[in-house]
Amino acid sequence: MINRRSFIKTTAAGIALTALPNVVLGAGKKSPLRFKSSVYEDVNYDVVVVGAGASGIPAAIAAARQGAKVALIDEDPVPGGAPVDMYVSYMCGGPRIGIFKEMLQGLNANAMFPDPTFGEDGGNGKSHWWHPTNFLQVIMQMLMEEPNISLIMNAPAIDVVLSNNKVTGVVVLRNGSLQNIKGKVTIDATGIGLISEKAGCEIMFGAEAKSDYNEPYGVETASSRVQPCTQMFISHRVKAGAVLPIGHLERISIAEDQYGWLKENAENQGDDPVSGGWQQRDSGIYLHWGYGQHYIDTRDPQAVAASQLWCLDKLKNDIRTLSEAGFAVELAPKIGIRECRRVKGEYVLTANELKAGWMPEDRIATSNYMLDSWSVSMTKEEKTVPLYGIPYRSLIPLGVEGLLTAGRIISGTSLAASSYRVQPPCAAIGQAAGIAASMAAFNQTSVRNIPMEDFKCELIRNGLYKTSGK
């Protein structure tokens, strides 16, 4: 266990050491985008993971543990993805296995409010949230323990490197210059599918009509509607004795430290959600789902920024109310984007397979979270799904070589994705993608031709091959 001071020291040194040795400035080279500064020389890895979020971190760790040299790239200054940059630090769904389980164990051990009873499976009613600081501390520690990973932060990937129609890496904007970060296999774990779009993959965006894939529920006509964006925030008691002014807030979607969804908990316990029950636990730290906006074109940064401004404006009263009551508010730096591009793959997963508990031969992960679509009105029973499998084919983009997808962008309908988009399945998908990518890199084969029996053995060895239970 490391203390805070040595953590910060080691983290900073770790990042510097992993990022710097590969850097050689190619003085005088001209950038294709007419950047005035020099460009960095190409660097080569076995596996390049773009996006250090819920799926990208397990992907990088899994590939590194297979012995692959891995570049883990993110546009953010720190890794973490949605739990850190959007404050989506509430984890629901399951199963909680593999590297995700290791992360939970780290969180339970390091949390500000330790709760060793946090559930391994999604179905035991224990959905908790962790402060993004705890989250960052745990994932940084996990990444530091992997010498095969070069962490490259503050480096948006803006294009792919293509060689004979095969993706052989990405172009990043690094310190104001361009750099080709090359890999035998690239994993798009961006949550927004930008890398796949740049690679020429077929992109799915918005809600399919239910007739498109013969799904049991859905909208009648296909549209560009995606799930809403939400501005998350955290409130902390800073004035002794202050009580959360719940009855005076306009938005009361709130979770208290690690005890889950307060309103639901209170109702389950027969308490009044406003006056009793959860308030008596009185932890003084709360996660808030602030205002959200529907149907934003989440591919467009200007539309996303406008949505964030709108949400922040709507939140002004609640922030003032909290502040007057003695609570400080921390806004998530990015507005939460639930849905963006999905990448059409060799298999398009639909709600039909989810409802049937399908376990395909080439399954690489499982999920048991409900169909959680915001645009389709469904009963609780209709939303419920059993444990179902995610086929490897959904990670392989149609007609494109050298690329795998991971996380919420894999190939499925909008309705199906509303289930596996939560963090435990995204992490398992990422871990499997990392294993597959390293196998393709070592065998010098296409991601389509990895030895499936060996792959399955690795999935089992890594605790990912769960086929029953919650």
Residue 325, both tokens: 């009551």
Check if the beta carbon of residue 88 is closer than 8 Å to that of residue 292.
Answer: no
Closer CB to ligand FAD, 254 or 326, in the complex: 254
Q: CA-to-CA distance for 137 and 175, rounded, in angstroms?
A: 25
Closer CB to ligand FAD, 54 or 416, in the complex: 54
Check if the beta carbon of residue 63 is closer than 8 Å to that of residue 453.
Answer: no
Closest residue by beta carbon to ligand FAD: 53
HSE, CB side, 13 Å, CA atoms: give it for residue 335: 28
Residue 121, both tokens: 């499976």
Nearest distance in Å: CB 1, ligand FAD: 26
Q: At what angle do helices 423-443 and 56-65 cross, to 10 degrees?
A: 40
Nearest distance in Å: CB 208, ligand FAD: 18
Nearest distance in Å: CB 369, ligand FAD: 8
Closer CB to ligand FAD, 75 or 353, in the complex: 75
In the complex, the residues that contact ligand FAD under the rule CB under 6 A are 50-56, 73-76, 81-82, 85-86, 88, 90-93, 156-157, 189-192, 194, 230, 232, 336-338, 407-408, 421-423, 426
Q: CA-to-CA distance for 26 and 470, rounded, in angstroms?
A: 53
Nearest distance in Å: CB 278, ligand FAD: 17
Check if the beta carbon of residue 90 is closer than 8 Å to that of residue 104.
Answer: no
Check if the beta carbon of residue 349 is closer than 8 Å to that of residue 395.
Answer: no
Q: CA-to-CA distance for 141 and 161, rounded, in angstroms?
A: 31
Q: What is the enclosing helix (H) or strand (E) of 284?
A: none
Closer CB to ligand FAD, 144 or 337, in the complex: 337
Nearest distance in Å: CB 230, ligand FAD: 4
Nearest distance in Å: CB 424, ligand FAD: 7
Closer CB to ligand FAD, 2 or 92, in the complex: 92
Closer CB to ligand FAD, 39 or 91, in the complex: 91
